[in-house]
Structure 1
């Protein structure tokens, strides 16, 4: 009992090392209380969010995007509630915080504008389900083009992993304001176009048959939609064909598919005498300079 009675005395002793600012007391005790409450808020928030995450993972009737959206929304409510509870425990009047509302608004307007923009953009992406974890997307053009699978959608950014196992962190706001190719949004069936050129002396029907045979023999393309072959134009050195094949696993990538298809096409062309042309030019000399008397 003596130990219990000494606790208030010890707290009062710690509180004596400080000073008053208006109606508030600043002391060692208050500082330790703030640290304890802050740690309690962080630990409680972490455990509650882990519990919420597990609960949503068990809701199999929801897809991945809906589960993630529920986790984010509940997480925001949990953190907001814990912060308000912490403020109440510390005895801070919420009306006193209105003094700083102007400064906080200014900070949000300038320093945290992008952060809040990315937060809202992430929630919108999850709500309209335009981009979900597991989707295969392409962002950007030319050398800045990023192609990969969405790993996770966070509060600030989306994680995209490429076939080279490079993880790109793309801000949510960028995905909201720029054009994004989603290869698995409404369907996982994607058509791949592979251009092929043959010499003008080639038998077109034979070439078309060989291209279709090569496309049908690839294991990855079996049991999918039938491939097609188009003549797309007459180039300066070749007849231009285009092999169109379908895949249903865009997350695996298309580089190895193109390579395997082209190698098989080359093998069949060589076995059947189909020539793949190379650039060449014929030079016609209209006027040859006359030979001078000194030339032998």
Structure 2
């Protein structure tokens, strides 16, 4: 599917980003895994991809640093000659009440969740234009579709990147570059304090209670990162050629209240 293509995945070493990196590599892409972490911290994902027969490399990049972003993209073009897919999964989330939310946390969330992705896109577009097009996927959030107590600032950043995606899409007409966003619901990641393989007894008990209260028609309060990776795979593929500027809500139907909450 992606043979010969080059994909850059921000936040690609953990959570949703790691799942996307692994899946895209399994479909033939060379994946440049990037995050602000040292390269050594990203090698778990890279090594797993290579052991499975895929191709990947790791590059440290703080996406809030425009010089670092420019260097990353210059390096990708110099080494690989092209850029076909950009997935922006890097993100930070704090859920303090608004009166207690520090300016530092506000600035960090907007920096990583909005300003950084825009800088990445600005650096990626010239390469994609030179090499015939590509696909850009921004990971927004299902919080855009709901009002969730104590998540106001986080939701604002994710709404911003989703609407940026929608409104920048017309600028890319006739370039063969598609840009779309995904709004994941609750996913088993470290950001939520839950991972698929390391749960304390207290967390396990909390998971059981959360699943029992789930309003998802599937009865699962949390999705796996691989569920969102499959959505990203579709959006990056030629099968999604009809989608430009879309916000794909992938929250198991929770925001639509498809079933009543448990009493």
So what's the TM-score if we normalise by structure 2? 0.22
So what's the TM-score if we normalise by structure 1? 0.20
The structure with higher relative contact order (CA 8 Å, sep 6+) is: 2
Larger gyration radius, structure 1 or structure 2: 1
- Tell me which protein shows more strand as a share of its residues: 1
